[in-house]
Amino acid sequence: MELKIEKLDNYGRGIAYFNDKICFVENALPGEIVQVEIEKEYKKYIEAKVISYKKVAPNRIKEECPYSNVCGGCQLNHICYDDENKFKEEKVRDILKKFTNISTNIIKPIASHERDYYRNKIILHGKDGVLGLYQKKSNEIIPIIECLLVNPKINKIIHLLNKVNNGIDEAIIKTSNDNNQVMISVKGKVRDSSLLLQNSDVFILNGKCISQKKCIETQIGNKVYQEGIDSFFQVNNTLTKSLYDEVFSQIKGKNYQNVLDLYCGTGTIGIYVSSECQKVIGIDCNISNVLDAKNNKILNQINNIEFIYDKVENQIDKIKDIDVIIVDPPRAGLDKKTIHYLKKINPVKIIYVSCDPITLARDLKDLSESYDIKYIRLFNMFPRTYHVETVSVLTRRN
């Protein structure tokens, strides 16, 4: 059937209408007329794929990635970078309009950097001698030689892993933000582990570290952070500093006493702002994160920060006398208990770092009962994908 694409949904899919149903079409742009094949039909909507283009949008670009529409990693390869940034700004505006009464005038322009080679981490999967990424909507593996998202050092390691693959089940590659340090973790069999050891600073084979070093180090601003293979770290190797600077700007020179850093990961943000307050308390439920955070405290010679290993919801009702709360939750956002105690703790300011605009909107709606949302800054931390990071600044209503 033939459809005209009206607009994009939050996942970058084209939206059309057929038989009074909304139809989602991947790799289709507004204004395009496409011949489609229905893949799945549900009670209220249809999912379809493009068979041919009858009319092509003038802003469509050639897809540079050979794995486009096969690998599930990217959704926006056919959109130019300027349009991608506009799409993400509009996406956040639309979500705020749909789920809250918050004015979209508070959204600041999106911060962005290079479109390609920005990731400092990749996870590859292996099966039957094939090493690569999962095919879209399946567990089949697409063999990968090079990924446009990861930095050149990681792509060199991907080539090397393909060379020594003798039954690899999974491979994780991480690099420092300056690409000077490399960490490789392999599960499965390799032909020559010495090659991987020679080309990495940290090498872990089937859970056993066989290199002298166990962590890599990354510098962000004037702080240095170590990270282990299981620790969370922002994957964008250039824009992370801009995001941290945005948080820092909300604390610098304000003479705040106590800062609470929830879902603190390896302590990166708490350590980054520690010079501007009397005390920082970080909480995280990942033991690898907390161990790295404590080492990062020592590495940066910081004495005014402590880290608690526990779920945020288990600790939040024990916290008092906090001036600023920084939250950087997983995609699920904040649970109701945490939101309740954020209001009860009643800090002067809440800085909310989010990777999911929908759960962000839900949480901002609840928090706006007691707080004014001063602004939301967008960061395109994940080019070529529909994901967008945000920093929201909330101030206590007097």
Q: What is the mean pLDDT of the chain?
A: 96
CA distances (Å), origin 10, targets 50, 105, 187: 19, 20, 35
Are 392 and 351 spatial neighbours (Cβ–Cβ below 8 Å)? Answer: yes
Q: What angle do CA 24, 28, 30 make, to 5 degrees?
A: 95
pLDDT digits (tens, 9 = 90+) for 135-183: 988 889 999 999 999 999 999 999 999 999 999 999 999 999 988 999 9
* pLDDT value at residue 142: 94
| Centroid of chain to Cα 383 | 10
In the predicted model, residues of the chain with pLDDT beneath 70 are none
Catalogue all structural domains in the chain, each as residue range(s) with its CATH number: 2-60 (2.40.50.140), 86-113+239-396 (3.40.50.150), 121-217 (2.40.50.1070)
- Return phi, psi of residue 113, to 5°: -140, -155
* pLDDT value at residue 19: 87
Are 218 and 178 spatial neighbours (Cβ–Cβ below 8 Å)? Answer: yes
* pLDDT value at residue 139: 87
H or E element at residue 47: strand 45-55
Q: What residues contact residue 188 under an 8 Å CB cut-off, 6+ apart? A: 126, 166, 167, 168, 169, 170, 206
Are 164 and 186 spatial neighbours (Cβ–Cβ below 8 Å)? Answer: no
Q: What percentage of the chain has pLDDT greater than the value 70? A: 100
Largest Cα separation within the chain, whole Å, is 66
pLDDT digits (tens, 9 = 90+) for 376-386: 999 999 999 99
* pLDDT value at residue 197: 97
Residue the block writes with tokens 């990166």: 268
DSSP 370-386: TEEEEEEEEE--STTSS
* pLDDT value at residue 285: 96
* pLDDT value at residue 24: 97
Q: Where are the alpha helices (DSSP H) in the chain?
A: 81-99, 152-164, 193-198, 240-249, 268-273, 287-299, 312-315, 336-345, 357-367
- Cα separation of 89 and 85, whole Å? 6
Q: What residues contact residue 95 under an 8 Å CB cut-off, 6+ apart? A: 10, 357, 358, 360, 361
